[in-house]
Structure 1
């Protein structure tokens, strides 16, 4: 099996220097782009560090010890607990994106550059740090075994559908609307499936992303216009990329509903209990921070932290002993 590299986006929203950059950038951006902020596009929960990356690396080392190189994409930040390793590189935004675009606080903008990371393997897994491996990694589940291409996962429920992009719907719905518009205009035989892609580790092929960027430069230009998440410029990697890969034969699609925990939801305790019972049998799971502007010591967040520590108590080789 060829190397499968790992790419994470990470931010520490409590960093004072980063907070200053965010506040100054948002003041300027919101004045120039009134009414374009996506739903929940700039809440504290989007940037809060709940320790997910530390536990994500623990899960990665436990369930996929043979992973390739890890690339951690950050904005002038490095986790205080991170141990230097020949298996991990910190990629600063400034080394990946044009200086004129910085700073950037829209993950859709940032992730549109991932395939430009120098040295990245052809096959790679892209993780948001709130999505974890939950069982031993099986390459054929993600990269199709001996066949070329990747496997992508959709949720079982039918997704809401709208004719146009809207400011009052969740980002994944606007991502699907953008996909339908572009793919229907580009390919006469395209039929849009009324589904959303699971919030999962995303198997990617570097050459295929370069192919799409060359085919549709306007899409990448548009998503790279946003300093903050904009409902007018939806992200490409969560929906358009997998739909296009499926249509072009680069990917196969299957239904695989993940265990999705929303930390601010009323059913979070039950969902976390289910996670404790099923850990080790879940290909992946997601713990999404939906507490928005809550304080860091909010009981809902502390409950998530305690669950992760219970699941993954053993430090990884990427952690400093004293941290």
Structure 2
């Protein structure tokens, strides 16, 4: 594969502290029917799902340190931009309205939003898709993520109970595994899916190496799945994410993805052993292919010390501002 071609970066980002956005979210929730509220997934409308704890700033710093040869960066947002963001020719902010039909807005479900990212104008054929809580943790070699005919994927350590229907109390990724399995099994031995070997595990919460043409192909191959996830306002348990599971699982079935063992870490901010996990994370920096710091403090106050501990740890790991940050203004006394 020609690794001289650019590999762009796509982030989803939201500032859940923005008063205007919060009002939009509140009004959207109030408009939901009783049936829609009943199908909302666990933790689909808690503060931790939308809180900005400065993760994007540090993910960009990690990107510059470990993958300086990246292509263009696209940040997909809902009429927002980080206050610290500096205009740069290599970075573009994409509004939801530029990707998603007006009739489907607003939406607060990342699975819904990410189903449109391949439609970003001028996006490179190969690209990485990030949630803003995901970070590269060591120098990136593209050959570890992309190969001539596809991508590499990594499993998480979490098994999924096989052959179960989608469950109201399950995580989005667990249900995504089940939904993908249902569709692939139904299509097995057809032109759509000539081969399929099920694996009942979720994929690691990682930078997602994706191929734009594959997403367009699947959009026409499985329109019912895309329509399903594109019908949500908030994340629902019966319409789970497909880009972070189905696309990868289908690619495995087609021989367009291979499994690779990555060295990675996952920190949950709400865990009682979070300080120890952050300490291990800092000592492992440079040896981890990637890591995730997942906000599980749910409805905690923005001043919760667990959140400040995460910011402090990230600042110590990545102290140097990226070229995408405005210069800090120091008051003169």
User: What TM bracket, shorter-length normalisation?
Assistant: over 0.9
Distance 1:317 1:58 in 2: 9
Equivalent in the alignment of 1:96: 99
The DSSP-based 3-state class of the residue aligned with 1:196 is: strand
Pair 1:43-2:46 in alignment: yes
1:20 to 16, 20, 23: 23
8 A contact 2:262–2:289 mirrored in 1: no
Number of residue pairs matched by the alignment? 321
Which secondary structure state, in structure 2, belongs to the residue aligned with residue 72 of structure 1?
strand
Deviation string, structure 1 residues 280-315 (Cα, Å, up to 9, x no partner)? 111100000000000111011111111000000100
Q: Secondary structure at the match of 1:33?
A: helix
Match of 1:184? Answer: 185
Match of residue 152 from structure 1: 153
Q: Match for residue 115 of structure 2? A: 112
Distance in 1, Cα, partners of 2:166 & 2:264: 26
Structural mapping, 1:1-323, within 5 Å:
1-144=4-147, 147-161=148-162, 163-188=164-189, 189-256=195-262, 258-322=264-328
User: Following TM superposition, by how much is the alpha carbon of 1:65 offset from its aligned partner in structure 2, in angstroms?
Assistant: 0.7
Q: CA deviation at 1:4?
A: 0.2
Tell me the SS of whatever aligns to 1:259. strand
> SS state of the match for residue 135, structure 1?
coil
Tell me the distance in 2 between the aligned counterparts of 1:263 and 1:62.
24
Cα distance in 2 for residues equivalent to 1:30 and 1:111: 24
Superposed CA RMSD in Å reads 1.2
- Structure 2 unaligned segments of length 5 or more: list them: 190-194
Counterpart in 1 of 2:192? none
- The CA deviation string for residues 207-227 of structure 1, in whole angstroms up to 9 with x for no partner, is 001011110111101100001
- Decide whether the 8 Å contact of 1:161 with 1:173 is kept in 2: no
How far has the Cα of 1:183 moved from its partner?
Answer: 0.4
Separation of aligned partners in 2, 1:257 and 1:26: 39
Normalising by structure 2, we get a TM-score of 0.94
Q: Structure 1 unaligned runs (5+)?
A: none
- Give the Å deviation of 1:161: 3.2
**3-state secondary structure, aligned to 1:282:** coil
Q: CA deviation at 1:130?
A: 0.2
1:199–1:258 CA contact under 8 A, matched in 2: no
Shift of 1:257: 5.6
- For residues 57-110 of structure 1, the C-alpha deviation after alignment (integer angstroms, 9 at most, x for no partner) is 100011111100000000000111100010000000001000111111000000
The 1:104/1:308 distance shift into structure 2, 3 A limit, reads same
Are the aligned partners of 1:213 and 1:220 in contact in 2 as well (CA < 8 Å)? Answer: yes
Displacement, 1:240?
A: 0.8
Please give the per-residue CA displacement for 1:126-170, whole angstroms capped at 9, x wherever unaligned.
0000000000111011112xx221101112443333511111111
